[in-house]
């Protein structure tokens, strides 16, 4: 099977969960025999073309113009992605289908129509979901419309959780029988390698020997709920004064949260690191005593899987896809979204009951090895591809 895949993110351009998803899914599909060509915008000095077994990455330079907003940049970049797609169809075709990730690749619908290729669309999140069910004007409205178009043009729509399946129905009226729920996954091998490293000196950069690290990582945006975590910090420290909060990630809320930490006199107990390398991100998982993800909106939550793969007890908001990834009392603790008191309770319970936390860690890791393995997810994705190809063969275009 030969598949043309479009994604706005691919390493080294990884901003959030979409980029991580495609970066892991692509080689897993290739390992199962799919000939995969990924088309993505080029960032920095990344190679224009990279070749692997059954997998080729084609990067397209973005236009050099200045744009008023991200939507305008995405629109003009897509003219180049579409052109690259046309060239690949001519050079490597015929393709069996196009697989597009999220709204940022409008080119997929054009390639579908021009080359009579069925389109599979993966919707990782929605603009309206990030807005708590509301869509503003301007760019927000345009993004919502682009998401609807992807759901409409797609032969099948892949979503990562039942929560997202309901969301695309509520927002776009995408029928449940047109959607396939396939979770995100995680590769535990980086954490297995780190288990053999002495991380004592690394840990000392963030906490004293007697302190317990409460770790969170992700984009510093309002929907990730880091403000709730900071508000919970004094409540946690009142019961477990040895706690030390370490938050990694960058985003538009970072400066605001740093001011908040200063105003609350928490500078000695809360570290907002900003950007860190992937290696340091993984090392922090390995030295953490508790990982917390207090999101207000979360279609899935790959960071929770990363913590589970690193054998870290997790505390997450019972919201969106997180409530499907983490089972309360079995693979982690779930707390009320937006509630500092509930968040603090989950952290304190984890730190004060290490035996129970260890039990949840082992349960979580078993789920990582089975349900959330990339080989399993690639197999489920190929099942969708094969269904689409079979239906296409019996359909007059």
Same-domain check for residues 40 and 175 = yes
Same-domain check for residues 174 and 42 = yes
The owner of tokens 């959030």 is 16
Copy the structure tokens of residue 160.
Answer: 């990562």
User: Mean per-residue pLDDT for 101-123?
Assistant: 92
Assess contact for 171 and 151: CB atoms under 8 A: no
Same-domain check for residues 172 and 269 = no
User: Mean per-residue pLDDT for 317-344?
Assistant: 95
* DSSP annotation of 81: H
Strand partners, 56: 37, 51
Same-domain check for residues 46 and 180 = yes
Same-domain check for residues 225 and 138 = no
- The confidence score (pLDDT) of residue 222 equals 92
- The confidence score (pLDDT) of residue 314 equals 98
* Structural domain count of the chain: 2
Of all residues in the chain, what percent carry a pLDDT higher than 90? 83
Same-domain check for residues 262 and 346 = yes
Same-domain check for residues 306 and 353 = yes
Round to whole Å and give the CA distance between 27 and 384. Answer: 17
pLDDT of 65 strictly over 80: no
Average pLDDT along the chain:
94
Question: For position 165, which CATH number holds?
Answer: 3.40.50.2000
Copy the structure tokens of residue 394.
Answer: 């019996």
Same-domain check for residues 237 and 134 = no
- The confidence score (pLDDT) of residue 354 equals 96
State the residue range of the domain holding 302: 189-369
Round to whole Å and give the CA distance between 162 and 167. Answer: 9
Assess contact for 4 and 37: CB atoms under 8 A: yes
Same-domain check for residues 237 and 173 = no
DSSP string, 126-159: -HHHHTTT---STHHHHHHHHHHHHHHH-SEEEE
Assess contact for 262 and 232: CB atoms under 8 A: no
Strand partners, 247: 216, 272
Mind listing the pLDDT tens digit for each residue in 214-262?
999 999 999 999 999 999 999 999 999 999 999 999 999 999 999 999 9
Round to whole Å and give the CA distance between 168 and 159. Answer: 9
pLDDT of 54 strictly over 90: yes
What confidence category does residue 15 fall into, taking pLDDT thresholds of 50, 70 and 90?
confident
- Maximum Cα interatomic distance, the chain, rounded to a whole number of Å: 68
Mind listing the pLDDT tens digit for each residue in 163-218?
999 999 999 999 999 999 999 999 999 999 998 899 999 999 999 999 999 999 99
- The confidence score (pLDDT) of residue 66 equals 77
Same-domain check for residues 158 and 212 = no
- The confidence score (pLDDT) of residue 58 equals 97
Same-domain check for residues 124 and 203 = no
User: Mean per-residue pLDDT for 281-296?
Assistant: 97
- The confidence score (pLDDT) of residue 304 equals 94
Same-domain check for residues 72 and 143 = yes
């Amino acid at each position: 099977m030969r598949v043309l895949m479009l994604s706005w993110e691919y390493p080294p351009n990884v901003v959030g969960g979409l980029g991580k998803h495609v970066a892991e899914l692509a080689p897993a599909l290739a390992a199962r025999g799919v000939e995969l060509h990924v088309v993505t915008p080029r960032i920095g000095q990344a190679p224009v073309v990279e070749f692997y077994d059954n997998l080729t990455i084609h990067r397209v330079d973005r236009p050099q113009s200045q744009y008023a907003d991200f939507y305008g940049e995405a629109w003009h970049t897509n003219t180049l992605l579409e052109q690259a797609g046309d060239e690949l169809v001519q050079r490597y075709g015929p393709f069996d289908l196009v697989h597009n990730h999220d709204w940022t690749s409008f080119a997929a619908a054009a390639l579908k129509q021009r080359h009579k290729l069925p389109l599979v669309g993966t919707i990782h999140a929605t603009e309206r979901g990030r807005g708590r069910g509301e869509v503003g004007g301007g760019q927000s409205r345009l993004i919502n419309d682009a998401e609807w178009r992807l759901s409409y043009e797609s032969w099948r729509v892949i979503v990562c959780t039942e929560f997202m399946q309901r969301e695309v129905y509520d927002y776009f009226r995408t029928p449940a029988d047109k959607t396939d729920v396939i979770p995100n996954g995680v590769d535990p091998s980086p954490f297995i390698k780190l288990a053999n490293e002495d991380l004592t000196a690394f840990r000392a950069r963030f906490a004293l020997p007697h302190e317990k690290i409460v770790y969170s990582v992700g984009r510093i945006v309002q929907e990730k709920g880091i403000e709730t975590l900071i508000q919970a910090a004094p409540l946690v420290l009142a019961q477990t004064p040895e706690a030390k909060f370490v938050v990694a990630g960058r985003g538009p809320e970072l400066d605001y949260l740093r001011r908040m930490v200063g105003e609350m006199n928490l500078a000695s107990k809360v570290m907002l690191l900003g950007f860190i390398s992937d290696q340091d991100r993984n090392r922090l998982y390995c030295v953490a005593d508790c990982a917390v993800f207090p999101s207000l909106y979360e279609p899935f939550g790959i960071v929770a899987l990363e913590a589970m793969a690193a054998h870290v007890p997790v505390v997450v908001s019972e919201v969106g896809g997180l409530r499907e990834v983490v089972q309360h009392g079995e693979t982690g603790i779930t707390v009320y979204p937006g509630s500092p008191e509930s968040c603090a309770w989950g952290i304190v319970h984890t730190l004060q009951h290490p035996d129970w936390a260890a039990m949840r860690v082992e349960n979580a890791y078993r789920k990582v090895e089975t349900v959330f393995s990339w080989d399993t997810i690639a197999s489920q994705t190929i099942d969708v591809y094969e269904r689409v190809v079979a239906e296409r063969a019996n359909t007059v275009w």
